[in-house]
């Protein structure tokens, strides 16, 4: 269990670095995922004075009851695209999982919040293999049908490639043009940032990441962390994309996370300086002889 006070500190460090949209926690069953049992206390401690958009995962109406008291801006209703991962992740079929989230837009509206959708294993499932593009498009259309116009596509096990990213994004844009698409990559095979570039070329402007590159899915064998927020912001800045985020402050927040976890993090910028940072020539080892 990651101490709540440390979660609050890290969240506020991210906000201090300029992050203005934060998915902070999940209102899943505390019995199923005890690491997230402190959702209410965490949200209460986050500094929201600077116009932060605060999000959290909400899997069903029971989670919605908890979320409604927390004052969130966005509820993220998530589904698995494949039947096998849905059974592992939600203990029910995809159709039953969708029925569970259908009441959420109305419940969220009562609190002034909106609902975004999220699809796990949108590219590949660890149990059933490649996810058909048509299945993702169908669920995107179903989300739009219940009033959800923002959809996060999760590369849960880190198997997406640039060509497949463009193919999936293109299909949804053609078939469900009113749906805003957010891309959520894991860096399991080192392709996360390449996929971000493909997403940018496809017109996507929102990408999800995690500080230090930590994370994963407890119900997907082999899943590793998300793309690192430090590495993502670094890439975007190199490509001339303004984020409003202070990269140095972000790196320091990642260093703090590393200290709290007592381990090195996957983020490249926790091991190497940003491009453009120079070394002192006078103190550098030189070839002699």
Size of the chain in residues? 289
Instruction: Answer yes or no: are the C-beta atoms of 183 and 153 closer than 8 Å.
Output: yes
Instruction: Answer yes or no: are the C-beta atoms of 151 and 181 closer than 8 Å.
Output: yes
CA 107 to centroid of chain Cα atoms: 23
CA atoms of 167 and 276, how far apart (whole Å): 34
Token output for 1: 């269990």
CA atoms of 233 and 229, how far apart (whole Å): 6
- Give alpha helix (H) positions in the chain: 4-16, 39-45, 61-68, 83-90, 94-101, 104-110, 133-145, 162-175, 192-201, 229-238, 247-261
Token output for 26: 């999940």
Active site residue ranges: 217
Nearest alpha carbon to residue 184 among 210, 163, 164: 210
Nearest alpha carbon to residue 53 among 196, 203, 208: 208
């Amino acid at each position: 269990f990651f101490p709540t006070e440390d979660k609050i500190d890290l969240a506020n460090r991210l906000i201090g670095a300029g992050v203005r949209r934060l998915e902070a926690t999940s209102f899943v069953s505390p019995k199923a995922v005890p690491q997230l049992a402190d959702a209410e206390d965490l949200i209460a401690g986050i500094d929201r004075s600077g116009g932060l958009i605060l999000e959290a995962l909400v899997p069903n109406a029971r989670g919605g009851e908890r979320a409604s008291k927390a004052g969130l801006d966005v509820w993220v209703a998530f589904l698995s695209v494949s039947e096998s991962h849905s059974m592992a992740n939600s203990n029910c079929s995809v159709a039953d999982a969708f029925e569970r989230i259908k009441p959420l837009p109305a419940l969220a509206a009562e609190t002034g919040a909106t609902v975004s959708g999220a699809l796990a294993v949108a590219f590949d499932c660890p149990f059933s293999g490649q996810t058909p593009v048509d299945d993702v498009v169908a669920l995107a259309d179903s989300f739009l049908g219940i009033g959800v116009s923002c959809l996060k596509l999760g590369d849960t096990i880190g198997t997406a490639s640039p060509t497949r990213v463009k193919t999936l994004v293109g299909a949804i844009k053609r078939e469900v043009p009113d749906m805003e698409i957010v891309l959520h990559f894991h860096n399991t095979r080192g392709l996360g940032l390449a996929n971000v570039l493909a997403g940018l070329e496809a017109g996507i402007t929102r990408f999800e990441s995690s500080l230090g590159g930590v994370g994963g899915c407890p119900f997907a064998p082999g899943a590793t962390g998300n793309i690192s927020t430090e590495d993502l912001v670094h890439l975007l800045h190199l490509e001339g994309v303004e984020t409003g985020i202070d990269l140095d402050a972000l790196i320091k927040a990642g260093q703090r996370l590393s200290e709290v976890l007592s381990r090195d993090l996957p983020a490249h910028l926790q091991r190497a300086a940003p491009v453009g940072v120079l070394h002192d020539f006078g103190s550098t080892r030189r070839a002699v002889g």
